[in-house]
Amino acid sequence: MSDITEFEFDGAAGRIFVRRWVPDGPARFVVLLAHGYGEHSGRYQHVADRLVELGAVVYAPDHHGHGRSAGERASVPDMDLLAGDLHTVADRAADEHPDLPVVVLGHSMGGLVATRYVQLYPDGLTALVLSGPALGVGPNLSLLAELDPIPDIPIDPAVLSRDPAVGEAYDADPLVYHGPFRKETINAFLTGVDNAVNGGSFGDLPTLWLHGSADQLVPYEATAEVIDVIKGSAFEHIAYDGAAHEIFNETNKTEVLDDLAAFLQRVVP
């Protein structure tokens, strides 16, 4: 079982809201969880529950402009700014749970943030997990960035998962952003991917990349091209045949969470 608490802090561009899940028993490691574009950390309750079962303390901020954090909705000025806010959360975690191993887990945009986090703040990390990381979005977003005005086309909930209930819950969630992409956010994605490509490899940090083969939001093949540039010597990968973008909410989510747990049990001391 887990106990969820909340706190806020002054981030780089405004107040940041954080959810924290703590196990009933002794904590073994810390997980810094970075959510995806337009959503919020509250959608990861079931993921946090599984991590807590392994002995993790999970810290999951709502990124700037997302969820219950400050900022214009879905406006991201810089992916490195989000990585910096996550680093502030890491400092808080280190104060509250000193000397524990630290794992960074990021989904979609959060996977790009997690990538930049590892490249900017590599010290003291134990593992990295990337779920459908937004590293292969360059071609599609480059075309979108050239349009003026940007068309009002929000993310189609139907492409998130083969489970229609996931899209329905996403569509009804008041903390999820349902509007069009903002120009500054598109530019932040494109700059973030460029920075990731040129930011250096993951070295010997144990890394697990998870991705759905039928992901329409972050194409698998384009992501693989970037991953091949930055992956390190302790890299593992699992592709889920037919799975869409939100693999933690897919019809085979139990399999995905089992794979995540098996990886962490192997690499966390």
Active site residues: 108, 215, 245
How many C-beta atoms lie closer than 10 Å to residue 55's C-beta? 16
H helices of the chain, where? 45-53, 79-96, 109-120, 138-145, 164-172, 183-197, 220-230, 253-267
Count Cα atoms within 13 angstroms, Cβ side, for 148: 2
Residues 6+ apart with CB under 8 A from 233: 203, 204
Distances in Å between the Cα of 155 and the Cα atoms of 3, 84, 179, 180 are: 32, 26, 8, 8
Structure tokens at 54: 């392994």
Tally: H helices and E strands in the chain: 8, 8
